[in-house]
Amino acid sequence: MFYKLITFGCQMNISDSERIATILKKMKYQPILDENKADLILVNACSVRQKAIDRIFGQMKNWQKLKKKNPRLIIALTGCIVKKDKKKFENKIDLIFDIKELPKLKTKIKNLIKDNIKIPRCVQNDNIDYFHIKPEYSSKNVAYAPIMTGCNNFCSYCVVPYTRGREISRPFEEILKEIKNIIKKGYKEICLLGQNVNSYCSNVKCQMSLPTADLPKAEKPKLKINFPKLLKLISKMSGDFQISFFTSHPKDMSDELINVMAKCEKIKKELHLPIQSGDDEILKKMNRKYTVKDYLKLVQKIRKKIPNIFLSTDIIIGFPGETKKQFENTVKLCEKIKFNKAYISQYSPRPETIASKLNDDVSKQEKKIRWEILNELINEK
């Protein structure tokens, strides 16, 4: 049996797909590039951007034709999907499941198969955390290691709290175990993932569970492992590798984290720090919880400690109510900061978010013009 796995979204979705591939491998499914020959088409989707959902809808007619040719074909959908988008797919897709239900995938697929096709036996525990599934790493260079999932920030434009739920940090022992395995496989870069890695916090159940050999003496009594301390623990592991992480929220970028980045040689001197807008009124509407002044001070502090930092960012243009003057404020800020790279997106209303109730009053044409201005300023310099 063959499967075609299609992934949309961020690095977290890529990491989830690596765990999906593990489950399918245990079920004796083999990956295939040609979806025309697939017995299973599984889409790991993302409602964060409308384009991803539109692209999936665009493929529906073709997949329905494939199902007529091959009645055994199963089309499945998972990922960061809001309820409204799920409803659109209900009558067009055989299986929709939450990524947290990944350990139950074998049972779900087996229930869909009506003939005598046998799915090989494999060890399955429907109650385990899907993070316990060892991933089939898709890259030869970078290994992704999720350290948390979900988000508590509720930025007014973002669906993540509604699709992935509230913030949950993985126990640090589990993360260290996964990273040891990554190092053994010879990966040179380990990328720690989370919607907001800066707010990572793992409670230590007892003193005996601390890897005291890896902790400085002054830190042995601590009962919590925050993100800077997690970075220290990982950087003390033996091996030739570098550590990167994604994504940081400016409001949670602590002095402790900046100092750890500056001092630890294994941590790449790269930071993705989304600004989203260079106008205070728009930032307030976005519920970002910092001002332009706050962000500038933070960047100055980071560059003082880490002069060679590679700084990238996210920017949303055409947010509801964004005037030309407010956009110009964003341009001026970008000119001042001189980002090395920017991921610029044109605002699109997302179901269930607070911003979706606002009037999307910036035209598509104007959004495109603003996108081109910023892209040329930052990415094509």
Q: Residues 112-126: what's their mean pLDDT? A: 53
- Domain co-membership, 85 together with 183: no
Of the candidates 261, 256, 294, 262, the residue with the CA atom closest to the CA atom of residue 275:
294
Q: What is the pTM of this model?
A: 0.88
What average pLDDT score do residues 219-243 get? Answer: 87
Q: Which residue has the tokens 């109650």?
A: 127
For residue range 151-173, what is the model confidence (pLDDT) as tens digits?
Answer: 999 999 999 999 889 999 999 99
Number of structural domains in the chain: 2
pLDDT digits (tens, 9 = 90+) for 50-74: 788 888 888 888 998 998 898 889 9
Average pLDDT over residues 16-41: 94
Q: Are residues 291 and 257 in the same domain?
A: yes
pLDDT digits (tens, 9 = 90+) for 327-374: 999 999 999 999 999 999 999 999 899 999 999 999 999 999 999 999
Judge whether 133 lies within some domain: no
Residue 16 counted as domain residue: yes
Q: What is the mean pLDDT of residues 115-135?
A: 63
Residue 120, pLDDT score: 46
pLDDT over threshold 70, residue 139: yes
Does a cis peptide bond (omega within 30 degrees of 0) precede residue 291? no
Mean pLDDT of 268-291: 98
- Cβ contact 195:164 at 8 Å: yes
Range of the domain at 193: 138-378
Higher pLDDT among residues 268 and 90, named by residue: 268
In the chain the first and final C-alpha atoms are separated, in Å, by 48
Q: Are residues 149 and 107 in the same domain?
A: no
Place of tokens 């091996």: 239
**Residue that finishes a domain, picked among 112, 129, 157:** 112
| Percent of the chain whose predicted confidence (pLDDT) is above 70 | 91
Asked if residue 142 and residue 95 are part of one domain, the reply reads no
Name the pLDDT band for 264 (thresholds 50, 70, 90): very high
What is the largest distance, in Å, between two alpha-carbon atoms of the chain? 66
191 and 286 part of one domain? yes
